């Protein structure tokens, strides 16, 4: 095992707070949409925390499992899997009743030109899932894209900021939230709307995209001059701990790292680490897509993985040819076209 892999694995170890939260959690955990970018690591984090807590609890991952080998790998790691298309009503209703659901299913990449499927996945399906799991605690993964662009030098949108989604992807995500909120009130289902931006891992994320652009000498668009980032492992821990904070009416929570990072600064820092100057195009605009995660920090404390640790392990992983996911965040998209 390389030193980079060892460092990466250390950054994925469940915290004592997560283990304690899992130990107190009643019932099993189902992850709908486990086959996406965050799902496999989320399932593994839950499984590992359960093991460290010394308790018995099922972790069930549901997905179409289009990625070869993923279903078998999760099974080997102690995660039960169910291959299902959630848009198929028969397959949805056949899922087991559980006390805790993390809802990750959704459509982002390829939205433009496939709008009807986007709305089916992001708005119609959530209503069906909310009805199916009306007796569960549900953490609903959403996005900071539902917010308007705010002052690039400010703290970002808070949970009280009125949504102004730009483009059909963001509009459909607000639709997802509204469907869960409606059925939460109708059926007295405790939910938490988990507005995330942006998770980073060695395999994907804003930091990896900028590092690659610097190394490959590809121009970096500065029009979205400020960004928020958080380590995927920390984001997954927060999501699992959020199962204790589901409520009626549903609670909304911004999830990201502390402060606003300058896109230019990230590129220049990677440039120093790589020994080459980044190339830039366009200019910083007065607004950016930013979220204020103060409430998240009040509940859970600051994320345990620092920006320096993230940048170091991501760059090492990329330099050593580690596996990456070809799903860019489009963090610099200002018109909502994904």
The least confident of 5-14, 75-84, 122-131 is 5-14
pLDDT band at 140 (very low <50, low <70, confident <90, very high): very high
Q: Tell me, yes or no, whether 126 lies in a domain.
A: yes
Query: Residue 68 pLDDT > 70, yes or no?
Result: yes
Res 109: pLDDT: 64
Higher pLDDT, 97 or 327: 97
Q: Cα separation of 61 and 122, whole Å? A: 19
Q: Cα separation of 283 and 270, whole Å? A: 19
Res 1: pLDDT: 58
Look at the block and give the residue holding tokens 């366009």: 282
Q: Tell me, yes or no, whether 217 lies in a domain.
A: no
Q: Cα separation of 268 and 282, whole Å? A: 16
pLDDT of 272-313, one tens digit each? 999 999 999 999 999 999 999 999 999 999 999 999 999 999
- Domain hosting 180: range is 9-203+229-260+289-305
- Average pLDDT of the residues in 58-74: 97
Return contacts of 182-187, CB within 8 angstroms, 24+ apart. Answer: 182/127, 182/130, 183/127, 183/130, 183/131, 183/134, 184/130, 184/138, 184/248, 184/249, 184/250, 185/248, 185/249, 187/130, 187/131, 187/134
Q: Tell me, yes or no, whether 220 lies in a domain.
A: no
Q: Cα separation of 88 and 134, whole Å? A: 18
pLDDT band at 336 (very low <50, low <70, confident <90, very high): confident
Q: Cα separation of 95 and 133, whole Å? A: 9
pLDDT of 214-260, one tens digit each? 999 999 999 999 999 999 999 999 999 999 999 999 999 999 999 99
pLDDT of 161-172, one tens digit each? 999 999 999 999
Are 21 and 244 in contact by the 8 Å Cβ rule? The answer is yes
- CATH number of the domain that residue 251 is part of: 3.40.50.720
Number of separate domains in the chain: 1
- Average pLDDT of the residues in 43-50: 98
Res 338: pLDDT: 77
Are 233 and 11 in contact by the 8 Å Cβ rule? The answer is yes
Res 222: pLDDT: 97
The least confident of 52-66, 108-122, 125-139 is 108-122
Query: Residue 317 pLDDT > 70, yes or no?
Result: yes
Res 108: pLDDT: 80
Res 50: pLDDT: 98
Q: Tell me, yes or no, whether 246 lies in a domain.
A: yes
Look at the block and give the residue holding tokens 């899997």: 81
Q: Tell me, yes or no, whether 212 lies in a domain.
A: no
For every residue of the chain, which 3-state class applies, written as one string?
Answer: CCHHHHHHHHCCCCCHHHHHHHHHCCCCEEEECCCCCCHHHHHHHHHHHHHHHCCCCCEEEEECCCCCCHHHHHHHCCCEEEECCCCCHHHHHCCCCCCEEEECCCCCCCCCCCHHHHHHHHHHHHHHHHHHCCCCEEEEEEEHHHCCCEECCCCCECCCCCCCCCHHHHHHHHHHHHHHHHHHHHHCCCEEEEEECCEEECCECHHHHHHHHHHCCCCEECCCCEECCEEHHHHHHHHHHHHHCCECCCEEEEECCCCCEEHHHHHHHHHHHHCCCCCEECCCCCEECCECCHHHHHHHCCCCCCHHHHHHHHHHHHHCCCCCCCCCCCCCCCCCCC
Res 121: pLDDT: 96
Res 337: pLDDT: 83
Q: Tell me, yes or no, whether 218 lies in a domain.
A: no
Res 110: pLDDT: 66
pLDDT of 192-221, one tens digit each? 999 999 999 999 999 999 999 999 999 999
What is the maximum span of the chain, computed from C-alpha positions, in angstroms?
A: 58
Residue 90: other Cβ atoms inside 10 A: 8
Q: Tell me, yes or no, whether 194 lies in a domain.
A: yes
Res 17: pLDDT: 98
Q: Tell me, yes or no, whether 269 lies in a domain.
A: no
The answer to whether the Cα torsion of 296, 231, 79, 56 is positive or negative is negative
pLDDT band at 331 (very low <50, low <70, confident <90, very high): very high
């Amino acid at each position: 095992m390389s030193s980079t892999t060892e460092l990466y694995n250390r950054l994925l170890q469940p915290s004592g707070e997560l283990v304690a939260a899992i130990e107190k959690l009643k019932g099993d955990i189902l992850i709908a949409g486990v086959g996406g970018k965050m799902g496999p690591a989320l399932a593994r984090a839950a499984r590992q925390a359960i093991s460290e807590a010394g308790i018995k609890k099922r972790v069930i991952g549901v997905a179409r499992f289009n990625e070869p080998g993923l279903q078998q790998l999760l099974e080997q790691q102690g995660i039960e899997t169910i291959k299902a298309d959630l848009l198929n009503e028969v397959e949805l209703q056949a899922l087991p009743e559980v006390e805790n659901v993390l809802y990750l299913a959704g459509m982002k990449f390829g939205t433009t030109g496939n709008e009807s499927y986007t709305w089916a996945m992001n708005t119609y399906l959530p209503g069906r899932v909310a009805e199916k799991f009306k007796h569960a605690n549900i953490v609903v993964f959403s996005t900071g894209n539902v917010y308007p662009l705010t002052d690039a030098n400010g703290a970002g949108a808070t949970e009280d900021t009125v949504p102004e989604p730009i483009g059909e992807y963001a509009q459909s995500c607000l639709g997802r939230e509204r469907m869960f909120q409606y059925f939460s009130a109708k059926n007295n289902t405790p939910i938490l709307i988990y507005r995330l931006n942006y998770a980073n891992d060695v395999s994907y994320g804003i930091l990896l995209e900028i590092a690659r652009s610097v190394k490959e000498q590809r121009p970096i668009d500065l029009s979205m001059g400020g960004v928020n980032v958080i380590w995927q492992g920390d984001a997954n821990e927060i999501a699992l701990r959020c199962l204790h904070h589901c409520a009626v009416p549903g609670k909304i929570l911004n999830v990201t790292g502390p402060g606003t990072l300058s896109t230019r600064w990230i590129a220049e820092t990677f440039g120093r680490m790589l020994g080459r100057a980044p190339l830039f195009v366009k200019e910083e605009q007065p607004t950016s897509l930013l979220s204020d995660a103060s409430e998240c920090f009040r509940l859970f404390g600051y994320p345990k993985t620092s920006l320096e640790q993230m940048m170091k392990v991501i760059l090492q992983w990329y330099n050593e040819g580690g596996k990456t996911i070809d799903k860019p965040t489009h963090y610099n998209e200002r018109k909502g076209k994904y």
